Chains A and B, each alone.
Chain A
Amino acid sequence: MIDLSTFNIVSAREGLKSGKFSSHDLTQACLNVIKEKNEELNAFLEVFEDALIQADEADKKISEGIDLPLLGIPVALKDNMLVTGQRVTAGSKILEGFIAPTDCTAVKKLREAGAVIVGRTNMDEFAMGASTESSAFGPTKNPVDLTRVPGGSSGGSAAALASGMILAAYGSDTGGSVRQPAAFCGVVGFKPTYGRVSRSGLIAMASSLDQISPFAKTVTDAEILYKAVSGSDPMDSTTISDETYPKNKEFNKTIGVPRAFFEGEGVSEVVKKNLEESIEKFKSLGYKVMDISLPNIAYSLATYYILMPAEVSSNLARFDGVKYGLHVDGKDGVDDYFKTRAVGFGREVRRRIILGTYVLSSGYYDAYYGSAIKAKQIITDELRRAFKDVDLILTPTAPTPAFKFGEKSTPLDMYLADIFTVPANISGCPAISIPFGEENGLPLGVELMADLGREDNIFRASKEFLGE
């Protein structure tokens, strides 16, 4: 019996290559842990029936001497990534009965890399939330403390990895939906530059911000997972190539800290102290850490909560009870839409669609959406100017550790959980949350952000920081 908690992708690949165990054994070990723990945690919504068949196919390839980056490695997917012939719900009732007709590009690439796709994990409905509480299939629990949320929206993937159900998992990060749950569950979460990973076949929330992103136990594993799914794709015209953002600056081991950004209210004292300790650690590793001023970065969250609902209201218009998913009968064709969308969408989704409709409506468009588009450009420019002087920007990942179920009593309270993670989505910059420190036994994370296209700087500094 394999003890999954002792393995990461790198060590599991060594075990597979040397024949110490098979992918079948490894996948079975995952299935056993899922069986043991999932009833309590609700991290997986479904385990795919063909998981062991995929593992056997991987074992055959290994026996033929084939070497692929993820060959035989069991991975989990957030339930908004399409897998041919499998159900996919985006955590919503409105996709009831929907079977994916095709693989998303990331899944195609995972198959090419040899991964065993074990199942789909729980999430906030349509990725709207920071706690996984808005899933139509019940909340996921944090494996570190069952009375607390795992973060969100990709809380199922984070909890699955942190509880040892799986060796690697993917989520999607629109405003922090991978980095924040990574911090809450004590694992690594990495959001690449916008456009690095194709969104084709990812159920859209806000298309200008969404990015498929990995969870991993180590930074080295996160890099492997990122490389496996990244690359330009003719099916997603927003994907970028290596030439899009030329690397014209050497890595100088310099980190900027926008202190004013997290000195305000609502940030736990332990989180602030923990950040100071991370600064000391970077200094001891030979990094130059300097205070920087980013006066407009604090507008990121307000910008986000205009752009995102605007895109949500447009993207979710496709769920109409006609083409696929749930259909609730009304008195005529138009009433079918009203009934289907009232029953199929949960409260947070309805809230964001209506809010998005408002900020795009004539008379308010310029004041809200128009201003937010300008703000996005200003914030991006401000960050890019800062990256002329520093390689990385360091902040906490979240203002507090994992909070209790029901603790965020108003929507705005919940939205503020994203405050440190949204700047990377607004600007498109890559960012990572690495586990560091704790508050009363609950894991904390620190976040490093780099200039567009500079994932290399993030991996380098994070590996040094964690001693990899």
Chain B
Amino acid sequence: MNAEEVLKLAKLARIEVSAEEAESLSHEFEAILGYVGQVKGITNEELRITNEHPLRNVMREDTNPHESGKFSEAVLKNAPDREENYIKVKKIL
């Protein structure tokens, strides 16, 4: 992986990364991907997957909400910028 690819990924992840950091990250990623790439081997072997405990979705009824507004002030207080009961952001368009 080269620095250019790292910069593209960083952009997708919404993180500003300097050219120098991208360069050193690219070398680190080479080493890490070289190591983790070995999992591609495991799945080529003939292995039984027993699936004794398959994953399943766990749902609950959308009922018994907490009292309206109970946490609003505590949550909004954490926002960097607010206007009354709204979180304020810069204009998008």
**Chain A residues with a Cβ under 8 A of chain B:** 97-99, 101-102, 234, 237-238, 245, 296, 299, 301-303, 305-306, 313, 317, 320-327, 332-334, 336-339, 341-342, 345, 347, 350-351, 353-355, 357-359, 361, 367-368, 371-372, 374-375, 377-378, 381, 384-385, 410-412, 415, 452
Contact = CB atoms under 8 A, between A and B. Distances in A.
A101 B74 contact: yes
Interface string B24-60: 0100110111011111111100011111110000111
B80 A354 contact: no
Interface residues of B, number: 49
A70 B78 CA distance: 32
A380 to B, nearest CB: 8
Which of B40, B48, B51 counts the most chain A CB atoms within 10 A?
B40
Nearest to B40: A371
Contacts of A381: 47-50, 52
Contact of B14 (A324, A341, A412): A341
B42 A320 contact: no
Q: Is the interface of A mostly helix, strand, loop or mixed?
A: helix
Nearest to B64: A234
A368 B39 contact: yes
B48 A415 contact: no
14 contacts: A237-B59, A296-B42, A299-B42, A306-B39, A323-B79, A333-B90, A333-B92, A353-B13, A358-B9, A368-B37, A371-B39, A372-B36, A375-B43, A378-B47
Interface in B73-93: 74-75, 77-81, 87, 89-92
Interface of B: 1, 6, 9-10, 12-17, 21, 25, 28-29, 31-33, 35-43, 47-53, 58-60, 71, 74-75, 77-81, 87, 89-92
Q: Is the interface of B mostly helix, strand, loop or mixed?
A: loop
Contacts of B13: 313, 341, 353-354, 357
B89 A333 contact: yes
A301 to B, nearest CB: 8
Contacts of B25: 351, 354
A359 B37 CA distance: 10
A431 to B, nearest CB: 18
Which of A341, A367, A371, A415 counts the most chain B CB atoms within 10 A?
A371
B92 to A, nearest CB: 6
Nearest to B91: A333
Contact of B15 (A336, A354, A377, A385): A354
A350 B17 contact: yes
